[in-house]
Each structure stands twice: as C-alpha cells, then as structure tokens.
Amino acid sequence: MDAKIIVTGASGSMGAAAVEALARQGRPVVMACRNAEKAGKVRADICARVPGARLEIKELELSSMASVRDFAAAFGPGEVAALFHNAGVISRGYALTSDGLEHSFAVNYFGPFLLTDLLLPALVEDARIVSMVSLTCRFAKISPEGLRPAERDFSRLGTYAESKLALLHFSQGLARRHPRLRVNVADPGIVDSDMIAMGKWFDPLADKLFRPFCKRPEDGVKPALAALAAEDGGRYFVGRRSGPIPARYRDPALQERLWRATEEILSGI
C-alpha cells in the first residue's frame, strides 16, 4: 500500500490545485477538509479530469484541537508519506475559538503544530512536511506572548502574518528535532483565491483592478509542489527557486521558546 499525502484545506483554491497535481502523479491523497460537502464537489471534479485518482476525504476543523486529535487518530504507522499544511485563514475580526485561542493562530499555527506532533508515529521515516507561509512574514514579529494576542493587538493582516511567522519558526524547530524528516516551507506569492477578499465595499473594484495581476492557484501552488518532491529539507521555496531559509527567519533560541510555550498552551487544551 502506498503511503498517503495529507493536504489540509484541500477544498480551497491552491489546496484543490495541489490535490489535482498529486493525483496526476498517481499519488494517493487524503483531502483534509472542514466542509465535507464542498470537498466532495472538488473531489468529484478532479476525479472527472483524472480517472483513477485515489482521493479520500477526512474531516478536519483546524480551529478545534479536538477535531485535530480525532483526525490524527485515524492513521497507523507508516501510513503517511507527506503532510502539506496548506489550510489557512485571514480572520476578519478578533475571535476566540472554543479552546480559547485566537482564531487565525488556531487555524494557521496551533492546528498544524498539534497535527504534525500527533502524526509523527504515522509518518514514513523520511516523510516530507511542507508548510504554506507568506511574504507578509517579512513584516511580522513574534514572541511566545504573541501566540495568544489580545484583542487590542489584533489586526487582520498583522495577526495573520504573525501566525504564519510562527509556522515558519515551527518548521525549523521540527527539522532540528527530527533530522530525517524533510521539512520545507513554500511561499506562493499573491494568488487569486477567496483569501484575498477583504470583505469590504471595495472588493468588486479590487476584483477588477487587482485580481487579474495575481497568480492563478495552479501556479501559486508550484513552489509547494516542488517542496513536496524535495530531496532535502530546510529550504524556502518561492517562485521557481528554492534556497536556505532566509537568515532573518533563523533564530533557534526564539524557536525553542516558541516551541515550549506552544506545548504548554496545547497541554491545557
């Protein structure tokens, strides 16, 4: 039996594009999605275009650590070849999840952290772990205290960027702990997807003036697909290139502090 590739947010723009590309390579994929109906339609469309695609849907609500635990419990040793942390959200306002976490941090950071940790026994020895990050990380700062931002500290793009930066640091901490894993990050650029809508009056205008210049999801996901095929780890994939994680994101001491703080927070949930 071939080990599977788990793609979170597989019903979204780049998630669906990734699933289709992987299906064309003949890889078995687990579509980890919060909305089974939406995922079912995406799966049906891909199967119509890629006969013989091996796609299974499993429910995963990343804002709920209980859902993450249920999802991970379904996989046995050696069943998972790769884990693609693709799901992500830009929360439109400050909100706490039922676990008491800020919503975008729960989905973009705590969910992927816990999911990876719980799936470690299910991974093949040299499994690939790829996380979708963002160019917004460049303008963000993160500290252990920032993992649980207060309402006064929330801003849509700022908090999103901080959660993605935390994910970037997590990837490096993970690679240090598990050197056999091939852990990489991918930056898709600016991509035409639901995510870039701001929920504001100017959205229709932006759709006309801005969206045509964004990448198509099939192109935006290419760095992540390259990362999912990479022979090594510790690389930042962007456009057609990959290189070492940029120096501005390399801070092992901070990464260890973030790791410990995250474990402590998750241990209480």
Ligand X SMILES: NC(=O)c1ccc[n+]([C@@H]2O[C@H](COP(=O)([O-])OP(=O)(O)OC[C@H]3O[C@@H](n4cnc5c(N)ncnc54)[C@H](OP(=O)(O)O)[C@@H]3O)[C@@H](O)[C@H]2O)c1
Residues that bind ligand X (CB under 6 A): 9, 11-15, 33-35, 38, 60-63, 86-89, 107, 132, 134, 188, 190-191, 193-196, 217
Q: Per DSSP, what are the bridge partners of residue 236?
A: 185, 243
Q: Nearest distance from residue 250's CB to ligand X, in Å? A: 20
Closer Cβ to ligand X, 53 or 168, answer by number: 168
Min separation Cβ 118 and ligand X, Å: 15
Report the half-sphere exposure of 136 (CA within 13 A, side-chain side): 19
Q: Which CB atom, from 173 or from 188, has the smaller least distance to ligand X?
A: 188
User: What is the smallest separation between the CB atom of 63 and ligand X, expressed in angstroms?
Assistant: 4
CB 12 within 8 A of CB 39: no
Q: Give the residue with the Cβ less far from ligand X, 194 or 231.
A: 194
CA atoms within 13 A of residue 128's CA, in its CB half-sphere: 24
Cα angle 212-218-221, degrees, rounded to a multiple of 5? 110
Min dist. Cβ of residue 27 to ligand X (A)? 19
Block residue for tokens 């908090």: 159
Tokens representing residue 245 in the block: 């994680």
| CB 6, min distance to ligand X, A | 12
The number of C-alpha atoms within 13 Å of 120 and in the hemisphere containing its C-beta is 11
- Nearer Cβ to ligand X, position 11 or 159? 11
Query: Which residue, 147 or 191, has its beta carbon nearer to ligand X?
Result: 191
| Separation in Å, CA 221 to CA 15, 16, 89, 150 | 8, 10, 16, 32
What's the burial of 215, exposed, middle or buried (CB within 10 Å: 0-12/13-18/19+)?
Answer: middle
Cα–Cα distances (Å) from 156 to 153, 161, 195, 199, 221, in that order, read 10, 9, 12, 11, 23
Name the residue nearer to ligand X (CB basis): 179 or 198.
198
Nearest to ligand X of 73, 256 (CB atom): 73
